[in-house]
Amino acid sequence: MWRRGGEAPAGRLALILNLPSLVALALVLAYPIGFAGYLSLHEVSIRQLRSGEFPWAGLANFARLFQDEVFWLSLRHTLLFVAASVLLEVVIGLAIALTISDERVWLSRLTRVLILIPWAVPPVVNGLLWSFIANAQYGYLNRALHKLGLITDYVNWLGQPQLAMAVVIAAYVWRTTPFNILLYHAAIQGIPAEIYEAAAVDGASPWQSLWRLTLPLLRPIVAVTLILRTTFSFMVFDEILAITQGGPGNDTWVAAWYTYRVAFQPPFNIGLGAASAWVLATIIGLAALVYVRLVYRRLEYA
């Protein structure tokens, strides 16, 4: 009940304040996820969608999914993409955030403005931009490397498996890294200056302050960005669609692209696509739990 003076208990007040968000999440996320789970247990195709009758399939869609070599291939590509992109986002984001947070750097204010441009570009537009950059015939990447004398013949970036995946990773990291930079920059600005002053009095060098103060104090925000960026990296789709469309062959197929292809292209096996989506969601949830257990720690300033 309510406390004396009209104040609500902290737990009940938090529930009341978060109730609109919880209702919105239930409508936007819980129902679609639940319905996808329902579809994954039924045989669903264009014929069933027309009739409105979904025959029970049990775990047949999941069994078929785990027997599909293309699914395992796309899952391996997804893990490679996630590992490379998240690592680059964190390292590059931290490096730029530390640089622009130093008021002695004369480009810092200009950089803070320009840093938002890639983040503002829609994902599909970003993919189209990079597809032009990496084009084998008229791409600016080949032109620049040729002018610099680094290559003698134009490279077919999107025609070779490793290079095509590298282009997709570069395009994705270029678009998403500003999100990390902004969070890291805000966290760095929130660290009290007294901590660094005390460290300097104790004889700590700038590098020692970085490794023993700044980075440990940034660990909670790094954990948050790891969870968010890993989640979104697992769901990468737009850059794949705009740049490679899964090619060459199946060499840039990722889990989200696999789900789209089996569900919304002939033969339109929506039940199998829903099963793939559920497996992907489970992997993302497990990755988030691992991050929370291993990385996140509550830190308070002394």
Q: Is residue 33 part of a domain?
A: no
Assess if residue 11 is contained within a domain. Answer: no
In a domain, 140, yes or no: yes
| Closest C-alpha among 187, 220, 177, 158 to residue 84 | 177
Domain that residue 174 falls in: 67-294
Residue 287 lies in a domain: yes
The count of domains in the chain is 1
Count, residues in the chain: 302
Predicted pLDDT at 109: 65
Asked if residue 248 has a cis previous peptide bond (ω within 30° of 0), the answer is yes
What pLDDT was estimated at residue 69? Answer: 94
For 148-218, where are the alpha helices, taking DSSP H only?
A: 161-189, 193-201, 206-209, 215-217
**Torsion angle, CA of 199/204/209/211, rounded to 10 degrees?**
-130
Interacting residues of 262 by C-beta distance below 8 A, sequence separation 6+? 269, 272, 273, 276
Residue 10, classified by CB atoms within 10 Å of its CB into exposed (0-12), middle (13-18) or buried (19+), is exposed
Residue 189: CATH number of its domain: 1.10.3720.10
User: Considering just the CA atoms, what is the radius of gyration of the chain in Å?
Assistant: 24
Phi (first) and psi of residue 103, to 5 degrees: -65, -15
- Residues 205 and 199: their CA atoms lie apart, in Å, by 8
Angle in degrees, 0-180, between the axes of helices 31-40 and 270-294, rounded to the nearest 10: 130
Nearest in space to 259 (alpha carbons), one of 282, 244, 275, 248: 275
Identify the segments of the chain with pLDDT beneath 50: 1-2, 297-302
Q: Is the peptide bond before 9 cis (omega within 30 degrees of 0)?
A: no
pLDDT for the residue 191: 84
Residue 174 covered by a domain = yes
Determine the Cα–Cα distance for residues 33 and 274; give it in Å rounded to an integer.
9
- Tens digits of residue pLDDT in 95-146: 988 888 776 656 656 667 778 888 888 999 999 999 999 998 888 999 999 9
Q: Which of 164, 178, 171, 165 shows the shortest CA–CA distance to 89?
A: 178
Does 15 reside within a domain? no
Residue 149 forms part of a structural domain: yes
What pLDDT does 127 receive? 93
pTM of the model: 0.85
Q: Which DSSP helix (H) or strand (E) runs through 34?
A: helix 31-40
Q: Does 238 map to a domain?
A: yes
pLDDT at res. 299? 43
